[in-house]
Structure 1
């Protein structure tokens, strides 16, 4: 799992690697002013990979299971959506590195549509079974649940976010600059202050600042302020005059907001969230691949069941034809021909249903494997021909406990849940720090200056007109005073803010603790669910394998019984009624065998999923899934053959 997360993180940091992939690419502004230029995200690519066109021959889409998986990795839109989610995590890391709050990422995984199911599904139970010719008319073939996709939220921390906690220092430095021209005319009520009844002033200011926060919570601010003033006051010694000051102030929290571990918590959470996103993407791959395997398995079963229905119809038509000849010869009662014709009608109805189910399943599968769904005329018109068959294998050798350990180590949603718990505990530390009083130590040092020309209209006894020693008459003089620290100002202080009762912080800490404990219960619930799913899947695999073996034996015996009954009927030792009955038994046995074989394949697929081995067993590369490009070439096989390594 750690290697998987590291692999995805590595791919995200190498922007050039996306040049030949279908994964979304992010470009940030470059050059000296790149920090102030908007980044750009590549437009979605809605063109299907060329693989799907390569697999279409003469209007037929010859599809092996491995090719179906490859098409899903390249074209499935659920995976494409998740690729954007993976890329979002890098923006949260960048944002947290600058001292910003996190925006979060989606943790939703979309399942593949259910499809119409196999021959043994609720839509298609049996074919012309019983002693009376009958068929089943499906009533829910337009149920939208067959094509809709369920969504699973992998979040274990609840719908309400944790408290942000004490403010984070702004790690990105900020430079400020301000310049201003001002002309002021103010009437005066007395002459004492300015020496004039209408005070006029012209000001020009230029101020600069720099501020930056640091991990321990330290906030440093530097200012450089300049002001030139000219007025008509007769009370000012200097006119015009210039003032400049250069100052540095530092603030350091001692309780609330103190410590690098605390103030960098969002960076750690963002990095953990990046790993969580990797696991969510891996879970989406598993959900998509597992869903494609299920849809493909049902398609194989529906194709096999269609052949069974055709055989059943052909057998019923032969019997009706034979009975018609015998009725014409007068050796068989007309009622027997009517019964045989009813059997033909029932078998034909079953065939129509089977063909409809098959076409529905093809549409659903093609939509899952294509970016444009069935909007592409070439894809829409192509009939899907599965080239793999289902072969029931021996039961696995591992014990249930071994499978459970494998699942707990491999299931990405379980690993994501543990990282969410880790993030919630980091957030809780921030909430606990918020209980502390605000106690900051502050300090500042400022060098001040003043320079200007003697006021030619000065009215006063001291100093004499034209004599203001030490202050010169220009800006250079003022800067010299700043550099020499001629007029320093030093400040040291302590700021204390002590909330009485502190009820808000107390409530927030307890609330966050409750959410953490709730998440811990949830992860134990997930662990128990994983154990249950593994054991349930093992039981299902064993049950479906036994059911298949029994169904295969039943089909064999029913075919033998039909042959015997047909021989007895030809010899005049049986009745038309019994022959029809045994034909129904054979048809039902064949359909049951097909359904049982498909049920076993889906049970095995479910076992692979619950133990977290879907990707390993089907040679799926997470790197290729992230890039949306599968390196393996397609080679359409002959329909009805089992491709080496294929596991439908």
Structure 2
């Protein structure tokens, strides 16, 4: 009957083990299944995978989407009648969708999220592009360690001793923000010769030991760190005078460490996390600058293309006029009203006009290739052979009414991304200065330890002794250490304070530069309007003079050189007007950029531009 009950009990245990394994497999099914949607969200990148209920999540790489090397869907929308025909605003939206420079800049923001994840674990942040860590963050450290993960110890797992004595207790910081569990198990067989038989009763001792050592440790936000350790050993020996053979020994320990001066406080232990959060905000603002620079550069290329097309039209009209004069000259030579030498001059003018047209066409084609490269990730056959026909003209780009310059200067600088990034850098420098100020103080800390030992002939007596706290040990340690001259800490703190003051000057300088940029943009735009009007009047006047000179030449009151000179003046006037209109259009773009209206005026949503196709969910500022 007893054997039957034992078999039934074993059967239940086996069923329970199988059921636990099945539940563990179901909970961690995603370990074996492929990811359906590898697109992560920012919360996952900055906080990591949750450990529960899927235990293996923390040990699997976070999936990332593959690089999208294809053009976005918007490019094909603007292909009309075999031509790529976007307006300026539509062109800038295509730049946001497909520009590789912006695609690379988006990864900087994701790297900032990952750096925050590392800092939240208790490790030192690594810094991000364009936002390095302040050097003072590592003051007093050789290397970059900010935590101390201690390994399992061998307390309670050595050979049994005949006598016991008090010992000195040592303590130090333990663990990092992420909890750490260490497990060590081993088996050992030792045969040792002895020089005496008085104690052991034999001349040779053979010992078999099986050991389990564990430790759980973590650092808390205020600098407190703790560890919980449990070691257990089963030992058999051939010694004759041993109380327990096999002997079961165990050791339980609860330790805590608290700095009281240097290194105490939430601001010190979380300094890397605070800096990483600031760097995330800084990279968010940095993308505003990257986006603005890309849009302004693309708009400038679009405007240059419009101007190049205008110059090409002027060159075509000049060539047509030169060919007309050449034919008229041939006719006059045939009737004898002009000398044959005038035909050489006419042919020279035709060749010169044709050369100017070829140069203008080449410049237009080069700019077209540049435009296509800005709005596509790769110029494929679908876009390479399609002509670029912008729907906007230079005259269509006009100024958007804004507030007076004094109002813009007063309102805009504090909200400028460059100013806010400089202020964030100042915050990081102040965090580093606070850390170096704490490092000036002596190192004074308290360490406490509570231990329990047990020794028995089996596992049950050993655990009963442990639960009754039969063999206690406890201690408290106060540690004080300081540098007599403390010159290294003084230098670190002084440098950090100097860097804070330097950054305050940089913030002030950035504010002044933003205000100057606004005033410059407004002044340039104000001056460009009259320049366009003056250039247009010059074209009208030159056209009238050129027409009058042609009439005089047809009537025989002018020379061919005078006609060509007036036509050359007209071409120069057209080129000057085109350049003036291009400068005015660029001044409008610069004004929109300085006043922060560039994205809004052209229908660009910043959150969508920042996100692209790299992640899902809103961006975190």
What is the TM-score normalised by the length of structure 1? 0.79
Quote how far apart the aligned CAs of 1:69 are.
Answer: 1.1
What does 1:448-487 correspond to in 2, within 5 Å? 448-452=453-457, 474-487=458-471
Whole-angstrom distance in 1 between the partners of 2:531 and 2:326: 33
From 363, 369, 385, give the equivalent of 1:381.
385
Cα–Cα, structure 1 residues 165 and 607, in superposed 2: closer, same or farther, change >3 Å?
A: farther
From 425, 429, 436, give the equivalent of 1:431.
436
Instruction: Tell me what 2:421 maps to.
Output: 416
Quote how far apart the aligned CAs of 1:213 are.
Answer: 0.9
Whole-angstrom distance in 1 between the partners of 2:264 and 2:140: 12
1:39 aligns with 2:62: yes
Q: Indicate if the aligned counterparts of 1:163 and 1:431 stay in contact, CA closer than 8 A.
A: no
From 565, 574, 579, give the equivalent of 1:595.
579
1:310 aligns with 2:316: yes
1:50 aligns with 2:50: no
Whole-angstrom distance in 1 between the partners of 2:466 and 2:75: 75
Q: Indicate if the aligned counterparts of 2:139 and 2:489 stay in contact, CA closer than 8 A.
A: no
Quote how far apart the aligned CAs of 1:409 are.
Answer: 3.3
Cα–Cα, structure 1 residues 410 and 337, in superposed 2: closer, same or farther, change >3 Å?
A: farther
Cα–Cα, structure 1 residues 515 and 34, in superposed 2: closer, same or farther, change >3 Å?
A: same
Instruction: Tell me what 1:332 maps to.
Output: 338
Instruction: Tell me what 2:448 maps to.
Output: 443
Quote how far apart the aligned CAs of 1:397 are.
Answer: 5.5
What does 1:493-508 correspond to in 2, within 5 Å? 493-508=477-492
Instruction: Tell me what 1:220 maps to.
Output: 226
Whole-angstrom distance in 2 between the partners of 1:29 and 1:342: 79
Quote how far apart the aligned CAs of 1:379 are.
Answer: 1.6
Instruction: Tell me what 2:97 maps to.
Output: 74
Instruction: Tell me what 1:402 maps to.
Output: 407
Q: Deviations over 1:221-253 (max 9, x none)?
A: 111111122112234333221111222111111
Whole-angstrom distance in 1 between the partners of 2:446 and 2:136: 32
Unaligned runs of 5+ in 2: 1-34, 148-174, 614-621
Quote how far apart the aligned CAs of 1:193 are.
Answer: 4.1
Q: Deviations over 1:62-119 (max 9, x none)?
A: 1211221121111111111122111122222222222111112112xxxxxxxxxxxx
Alignment partner of 1:243: what SS? strand
After TM superposition, the structure 1 stretch with the greater mean CA deviation from structure 2, 23-32 or 80-89, is 23-32
Instruction: Tell me what 2:510 maps to.
Output: 526
Quote how far apart the aligned CAs of 1:487 are.
Answer: 1.1
After TM superposition, the structure 1 stretch with the greater mean CA deviation from structure 2, 184-193 or 580-589, is 184-193
CA RMSD of aligned residues (A): 2.5
Q: Indicate if the aligned counterparts of 2:414 and 2:511 stay in contact, CA closer than 8 A.
A: no
Cα–Cα, structure 1 residues 165 and 369, in superposed 2: closer, same or farther, change >3 Å?
A: farther
Whole-angstrom distance in 2 between the partners of 1:542 and 1:22: 46
Whole-angstrom distance in 2 between the partners of 1:219 and 1:357: 68
Whole-angstrom distance in 2 between the partners of 1:23 and 1:571: 79
Unaligned runs of 5+ in 1: 1-15, 108-154, 453-473, 630-648
Whole-angstrom distance in 1 between the partners of 2:365 and 2:199: 97
Instruction: Tell me what 1:266 maps to.
Output: 272
1:488 aligns with 2:463: no
Cα–Cα, structure 1 residues 249 and 267, in superposed 2: closer, same or farther, change >3 Å?
A: same
Instruction: Tell me what 2:32 maps to.
Output: none
Tell me: higher relative CO, structure 1 or 2? Use CA pairs within 8 A at least 6 residues apart. 1
1:62 aligns with 2:85: yes
Q: Indicate if the aligned counterparts of 1:165 and 1:427 stay in contact, CA closer than 8 A.
A: no
Whole-angstrom distance in 1 between the partners of 2:179 and 2:84: 59
Quote how far apart the aligned CAs of 1:165 are.
Answer: 6.5
Q: Deviations over 1:317-359 (max 9, x none)?
A: 1111111111111101223222222111111111111011111
Instruction: Tell me what 1:163 maps to.
Output: 138
After TM superposition, the structure 1 stretch with the greater mean CA deviation from structure 2, 253-262 or 184-193, is 184-193
Whole-angstrom distance in 2 between the partners of 1:72 and 1:602: 17
Instruction: Tell me what 2:292 maps to.
Output: 286
Whole-angstrom distance in 2 between the partners of 1:158 and 1:486: 52
1:231 aligns with 2:237: yes
Q: Deviations over 1:98-155 (max 9, x none)?
A: 2111112112xxxxxxxxxxxxxxxxxxxxxxxxxxxxxxxxxxxxxxxxxxxxxxx5
Alignment partner of 1:63: what SS? coil
1:546 aligns with 2:530: yes
Whole-angstrom distance in 2 between the partners of 1:428 and 1:172: 26
Q: Indicate if the aligned counterparts of 1:29 and 1:37 stay in contact, CA closer than 8 A.
A: no
Which has the larger helix fraction? 2
Q: Deviations over 1:160-205 (max 9, x none)?
A: 6743668356111111212111111111223344332222111111
From 555, 566, 582, give the equivalent of 1:582.
566
Q: Deviations over 1:458-497 (max 9, x none)?
A: xxxxxxxxxxxxxxxx111111111111111110111122
Quote how far apart the aligned CAs of 1:275 are.
Answer: 1.0
What is the TM-score normalised by the length of structure 2? 0.82
Cα–Cα, structure 1 residues 24 and 549, in superposed 2: closer, same or farther, change >3 Å?
A: farther
1:176 aligns with 2:178: no
